[in-house]
Amino acid sequence: MEIKRLSKCTLDEAVMAWNKGFEGYFFDATTDIDKFTKRLIGEGMLPSMSIIGFVNDSPSAIVLSGKRDVQGTSISWNGGTGVALQERGKGLGEKMIEHSLNIYEEEGVDAATLEAILENEKAINLYKKMGYQIVDHIRHYALKGNWKLSHSKENKGIIIKKADWPTVKRSGLYLTGAPWQAHWEHIQDAEIMVCLDHEESILAYAIYKKMEDENGQIQRIGLFQANSHANEAGKAALKELLHVLYQAEHDSISRMAAYIQDSQSDVVDLLKEIGFETTVSQVMMAKSLTDKGKEYIDRVYSQINKQTSHS
């Protein structure tokens, strides 16, 4: 197998590698040039770090990758590993991951991250073999019935309003270790809502997206990230925030939550109280490439690491 960086390949080759690599996947991942290009840009994937594997000159494997800086630590993300159906079981996946890890090291990455579908045991075992460890679990939720949580108006003095990204980032509540696709910069048309106390300090925040029909009527609301202070005031603020954000009084709106980490137990518990049900489960995995990367993983995922170490 010959491995080339995506920057040295054509878009046609990249799309062919993607479609062949994800044939028979857990959901239909078929793409075209326009969708693929939009994905690269929207998710911050870098052609210089992404690779395509060729077997007999035919695009047969792909790994998309990107990186970002988190408070001085360079974090990479594997945005998809695919191997053509007829080439699976031949060790190509291992070679592709190994090649990607070498590129990460060349690019000065401190910690490598990815997500995998929980049922995809072969992929998870491959990543473990390559040095990745499970650091959290991620769930996607949908509210399939009515809003079950009663609403109390006891929280007088709090303010719920829209906010900008820098304000939330400075608040100290922002989840720096959230899944890659749940970050503000990777969600097209994302909005932020916050709950403030009487001193206008942020008690809770949420990143979400509204989807409207051609008449401007809201059809769907999706939550991508939420957090609050761990005290009772924070929990109460989060409850109030989700009630307003999801427009709980309107029965016609479809509601979902994506990329919610199990370690965000207050958010998970609240979603379940409301009536949300799990639709998809994933594992979140990370591999340290430097001492700084190890420190980052230990710090950001310490809660889930403590839980799994006693299981």
Residues 169-213: pLDDT tens digits? 888 899 989 999 999 999 989 999 999 988 889 999 999 999 988
- Ranges of H-type helices in 31-183: 33-42, 92-106, 121-129, 165-170
Which of 174, 151, 179 is CA-nearest to residue 163? 174
- DSSP annotation of 91 reads S
Residues 145 and 275 in one domain: yes
Residues 8 and 121 in one domain: yes
List residues bridging with 117 in a β-sheet.
282
Q: What is the pLDDT of residue 61?
A: 96
Q: What is the mean pLDDT of residues 90-100?
A: 96
Q: Are 101 and 130 in contact (CB under 8 A)?
A: yes
Note the pTM of the prediction, 2 decimals. Answer: 0.90
Region 287-295 average pLDDT: 97
Asked if 238 and 304 sit in the same domain, the reply is: no
pLDDT for res 152? 66
- Looking at residue 238, its pLDDT comes to 94
Same domain for 106 and 166? no
What is the model's pLDDT at position 109? 98
Whether 147 and 273 map to the same domain: the answer is yes
Q: What percent of the chain has pLDDT over 70?
A: 95
- Do 289 and 275 lie in a common domain? no
pLDDT for position 25: 79
Q: Give me the chain's average pLDDT, please.
A: 91
pLDDT in tens, 56-75: 999 999 999 999 999 899 99
* Domain assignment of residue 117, given as a range: 2-136+285-309
Question: Is residue 158 located within the same domain as residue 120?
Answer: no
Cα–Cα distance, 41 to 255 (Å, whole number): 26
* 8 A C-beta contact, residue 117 and residue 285: no
To the nearest 10 degrees (0 to 180), the angle between helices 11-21 and 33-42 is 90
Alpha helix locations (H) across 246-310?
265-274, 291-300, 302-309
CA–CA distance, 60 with 53 (Å, rounded to integer): 6
The predicted pLDDT at position 250 comes to 85
Number of domains in the chain: 2
The CB-side HSE value for 105 (13 A sphere, CA atoms) comes to 11
Residues 151-162: tens digit of each pLDDT:
766 666 789 999
b/e sequence 141-155, b meaning 16+ C-beta within 10 Å: bbbeeebeeeeeeee
Q: What is the mean pLDDT of residues 291-308?
A: 76
Same domain, 170 and 229: yes
Amino acid at 175: L
Bridging pattern class, strands 111-117 and 276-288: antiparallel
Taking the C-alpha atoms of residue 236 and residue 134, their distance in angstroms, rounded to an integer, is 31
pLDDT score at 311: 34
Q: Please report, for the domain that includes residue 171, its CATH number.
A: 3.40.630.30
Q: Do 113 and 293 contact (CB within 8 A), yes or no?
A: no
Asked if residue 180 and residue 235 are part of one domain, the reply reads yes
Max mean pLDDT among 129-133, 143-147, 151-155 falls in 129-133
Which pLDDT does position 303 carry in this prediction? 53
Nearest to 52 by CA among 14, 80, 24: 14
